[in-house]
Structure 1
Amino acid sequence: MPPPRIPQRAEVLVVGAGPGGSAAAAHAATAGHDVVLLDAATFPRDKTCGDGLTPRAVAELDHLGLGRFLDDRPRLDGLTLHGWGASQQIRWPSGRFPSFGSAVSRVELDEEIRALAVARGAHMVQGAKAVDVTMRDGRIADVVVDTAEGARTIAVRDVIVADGVRSGLGKALGREWHRDTAYGVAARAYVRSGRADDNWMGSHLELRGPDGALLPGYGWVFPLGGAGDNLLNVGVGALATAKRPAHMALRPVLEHYAHMVGEEWAIEGPPQRLTSALLPMGGAVSGVAGPNWMLIGDAAALVNPLNGEGIDYALEAGRLAVELLDDTARSPDHTTRWRDVLIGQYGLAFSAARRLAGLLTVPQAVPTLGRPGIRSAHLMSMVVRVMGNLITPDDADLVARAWRTAGRLSSQIDQRPPFR
């Protein structure tokens, strides 16, 4: 493969071609910006992820014009929740989002959105990593790109940083991840199944290790569909904080969980392609923006602290960032404006969710809350709505108001509020 052609300049440089970065590039190109989309990987490539799409993520794919992409994918009507000898089957709530979720492997999803961005006019650069910047008057003037042919620079007007969990470019710009609030550790694998056409996502709130010990996390299993013919995504996630780190080996926990659900889901053979990841959650980063740059997706810790879901937030933030770019002529400094957008969209929910997630890392908190909760369909419906990222600042019903009130109370005692 020939070395990537590095443009000398870009109006908008998007660093990272995951769902958030590629969505941002597609929206920016559609809006008429000169866009360069850059990623250190060569596509198609895999990414550690649960692969599930919430109704909120489905809505964002519709915004992009990719709704038909899901036509031959699983239509997941809701969650079947298990724990402490009880089960509840809860449909996704109806409202402003579609009434169904879906599932697509990250190999396929990321490639589809990336290809859309290119089709709309974004210039794609693969196999090149943004490693540093040069500044002029407090703004990024050039981004330094490491390639196989040596270092190159791209002169930029604006930069959208979507380079993932560790965010090397974000770190160079002052981004800092704070682990005093809840973060996640997760592993996923694929298994063959005779039940790969199911319309429900299985979720086990009572997660136990091979030794029977209760863990502060949950397990999931659901059909993958598409090119993942007869495959299920099976995974486990656990919560941790700096004070209470997750001391667990993920591989044996995932293998034990896959064995536990093996008969129910007609699993054939051991888990394959097992990968793991560490997840910043709930806006637990500072330095999310500067005069001409914004962080989105995992780089901005846009991950639900209660379930590790972040695809929907990444897609949404990519769209919102471009909307802010379109207003640059009036107010060209994004530093407080982007942080305020993130706080307004996610701050209250993230504060409440990560406080609850932190509580769930306390021994005995999970069975104390989970044992009575799993027996209430009404309560589980509220849990699914919160876990599915399906409450928005515009919702005015009782559950939404109560969740925002919890967020406001939590925010008042946060030592470090989200995105600060």
Structure 2
Amino acid sequence: MQSTTPQRTDVLVVGAGPAGSGAAAWAARLGADVVLADAAVFPRDKTCGDGLTPRAIDELERLGLRDWVRAHTVNQGLRAHGFGQTLHLPWPGGNLPDWGSAIPRTELDDHLRTTAVKAGATAIDGARAVDVRRDGARVAAVVFERGQRGGERFEIACDRLVVADGVRSPLGKMLGREWHRDTVYGVAGRSYVSSTMADDPWISSHLELRGEGGEILSGYGWLFPLGNGAGEMNLGVGTLATAKRPADVAIKPLMTYYADERREEFGLGTELRMPTSALLPMGGAVSHVAGENWALIGDAAACVNPLNGEGIDYGLETGRLLAELLTESRGADLSRVWPALLRAHYGESFSIARRLAGLVTVPRLLPALGPVGMRSDLLMTLALRWMGNLVTDEDRDRAARVWRWAGRRSLARDARPPFA
């Protein structure tokens, strides 16, 4: 962070999570003058599962962070529990890495922000975006505030604005972003807990998530090592909901109950540290994701997988994609090209994923179909690949072709396509 605040910049990035820091790093590497601003003072925590799937690993490797990530924990894949079965499902590899990891967001986000600074971006923290100054249809500058409300105000003028301020996206709302809850969204909680299995090489996912009354809930619980040297695991639960079928569950008590149920098996401690929860817009369920010279990325654009709640990979991807677009098409109207690019990359997979996730919210469907799926290693291996969106544009195998075929047909039937 420099001592004087720049008055203007080529690219202003608001939000220094994986999406914003990734965008800032790539834009700076591609030659732009970049300012990266965030309301928090780093390092700071963020409600998140902390898991890094092979898709996220691929993006971190592109940033040159492979060795740093591998110095943390490395996991082999998913250990799926439920309906009387336990299956070990290795990461499929192919055009993506065949390993995953987990890094607490306090550390991950701070390191990514440092990566952006090393690339040439100017970082400003403790600065909350409170207003914009417009020049016709363009955003000419963003107004920031430091300290308590009513504190020091200043503005930074910009040629292009990248909005990466998370699931609530207050700046996005100022610019007209709207979240549509008619498609599936997530309600999730996360905590940290000591464990005697803190070197476990698998992500444990309990697909038969039950409430205290024994009812099966439309979601899952997870446990996996953090590799932070403290002998801790990330423990969390997530449920799915729609406006028609809202989630009627208290997440933090459910997380405590889930921990109690898993305590003996995983050697868990009694204290759940730093429990947090959040609502997650998913599958591109937002409209107005771009204007003439501004665009939303990552969680702000609802780039969250509807089937597993993963968002770090999409944050890093959309940050890179937008930085490349800003460099290659300097005069482009982002209100036209950015939604089109998002739909080209994610439209099909988000459409079919949120349709399938919506089915999970239908009462009695999961109890009926869950046992069938868990009896088949083949079905669950396919489910892992599809649920994790571990299908790349380069994949040409049968599973990839089926996924894209289903996505095209789902998209054609959407009353509101992703990002529309």
1:62 alignment counterpart: 61
Q: How far off its partner does 1:3 sit?
A: 11
For 2:79 and 2:2, the matched residues in 1 are separated by: 48
Q: Structure 1 unaligned segments of length 5 or more: list them.
A: none
2:164 alignment counterpart: 162
Q: What letter corresponds to residue 347 of structure 2 in structure 1?
A: G
Do the aligned partners of 1:134 and 1:144 also contact (CA within 8 Å) in 2? yes
Do the aligned partners of 1:80 and 1:87 also contact (CA within 8 Å) in 2? yes
Q: Secondary structure at the match of 2:73?
A: coil
Do the aligned partners of 2:2 and 2:123 also contact (CA within 8 Å) in 1? no
Q: How far off its partner does 1:144 sit?
A: 1.2
Q: What letter corresponds to residue 379 of structure 2 in structure 1?
A: L
Q: Secondary structure at the match of 1:87?
A: strand
1:401 alignment counterpart: 401
Q: What letter corresponds to residue 281 of structure 2 in structure 1?
A: P
| Greater mean alpha carbon deviation, residues 276-285 or residues 264-273 | 264-273
Do the aligned partners of 1:50 and 1:233 also contact (CA within 8 Å) in 2? yes
Aligned positions of 1:19-418 closer than 5 A: 19-148=18-147, 149-227=151-229, 229-329=230-330, 331-418=331-418
Deviations 1:324-372 (A, max 9, x none): 001233x421111111111011000000000111111010111122110
For 1:38 and 1:303, the matched residues in 2 are separated by: 22
Q: What TM-score do you get using the length of structure 2 for normalisation?
A: 0.97
Q: Secondary structure at the match of 2:270?
A: strand
* Percentage identity across paired residues of the two chains: 56
Q: Secondary structure at the match of 1:29?
A: helix
Q: Secondary structure at the match of 1:264?
A: helix
Deviations 1:256-288 (A, max 9, x none): 111111122111223121100100000000111
Q: Secondary structure at the match of 2:263?
A: coil
Do the aligned partners of 2:70 and 2:101 also contact (CA within 8 Å) in 1? no
For 2:145 and 2:224, the matched residues in 1 are separated by: 39
For 2:259 and 2:320, the matched residues in 1 are separated by: 36
Q: What TM-score do you get using the length of structure 1 for normalisation?
A: 0.97
Aligned residues: 417
For 1:164 and 1:5, the matched residues in 2 are separated by: 26
Deviations 1:192-237 (A, max 9, x none): 011100100000110001121111100000000125x200000000
Q: Secondary structure at the match of 1:262?
A: helix
Q: What letter corresponds to residue 227 of structure 2 in structure 1?
A: G
| Greater mean alpha carbon deviation, residues 264-273 or residues 123-132 | 264-273
For 1:336 and 1:404, the matched residues in 2 are separated by: 24
Deviations 1:155-191 (A, max 9, x none): 1000111000111111111111000000000001111
Q: How far off its partner does 1:98 sit?
A: 0.6
| Greater mean alpha carbon deviation, residues 403-412 or residues 171-180 | 403-412
Q: Secondary structure at the match of 1:261?
A: helix
